[in-house]
Copies of this chain bind each other. A is one copy, B any other.
Amino acid sequence: MTETFTRADGRATDQMRTVKITRGFTTNPAGSVLVEFGNTRVMCTASIEFGVPRFKKDSGEGWLTAEYAMLPAATHERMPRESMKGKVKGRTHEISRLVGRSLRAAVDLSELGENTINIDCDVLQADGGTRTASITGAYVALADAIAALKAAGVVPGEPLLPPVAAVSVGLIDGHVCLDLPYEEDSRAEVDMNVVMTDSGEFVEIQGTGEHNTFGRAQLGELLDYAEKGCRELIAAQKAALGI
């Protein structure tokens, strides 16, 4: 049935956009990565801070937290800067929390010592999939930061777990599609973000049918596409890290 359906950018429905992961994008943070999913570009950094938040004090464990934000000129229409409005939007909070949860699945906090890793994902250019690119790039920044921590002798254990990556899938005009750019994302009947581990297990599934509902069969097909995408992204992460 998909033969008559054409995506605006000519990709096959199960094809990722070009993915690029550039390590060492900036030099001050312990880990700094530029990740690109097509035209979406996100700067992902991992910074180390000694000590942990109050609820982790004296636990012997570390913590990882994340903040996601868009530069005001990242989108087609410039958006007001959240710092100037004095308020962070609900969408920003929601994605920051998702990125934090996802990356905590890639780190063994008990091996980290009482240190905190701050992940920052700042979107330089937005074309859909900013949250999935953020998670995918942040894993690489995290790996570099942990390596730096270990090299500095701060961390005795092995906190880094195998890769975690994320991708979006959706239903566009009834067709399951992988890795939606903005043009597809904004009109998808169903929009789903899937975070997976190297072993093919789910870390998080968030599927929303605001323009339509979906059944079990469609869910299965969406997850098949997502799994294909995540496997390719994890391969890209490993290639970038040389592992």
| Chain A: number of interface residues, binned into ranges | 35 or more
Contact of A29 with B by CB under 8 A: yes
Q: Which of A59-102 contact B (CB under 8 A)?
A: 67, 69, 71-76, 78, 81-84, 86-94, 96-97, 101
Write out the residue numbers on chain B whose beta carbons fall within 8 Å of the beta carbon of A22. none
Write out the residue numbers on chain B whose beta carbons fall within 8 Å of the beta carbon of A203. 208-209, 213
State in angstroms the CA–CA spacing of A206 and B207 once bound together.
6
Contact of A54 with B by CB under 8 A: no
A-B contacts, 5 of them at CB < 8 A, read A71-B120, A78-B118, A81-B120, A105-B209, A200-B215
Contact of A28 with B by CB under 8 A: yes
Contact A124 B26 (CB under 8 A): yes
Stretch at the interface among A7-15, A42-50, A229-237: A42-50
Beyond known contacts A101-B210, A205-B206: 11 more, CB 8 A cutoff = A27-B39, A28-B76, A45-B73, A73-B118, A73-B120, A83-B92, A201-B213, A202-B214, A204-B208, A206-B207, A216-B223
State in angstroms the CA–CA spacing of A89 and B118 once bound together.
19
State in angstroms the CA–CA spacing of A104 and B211 once bound together.
9
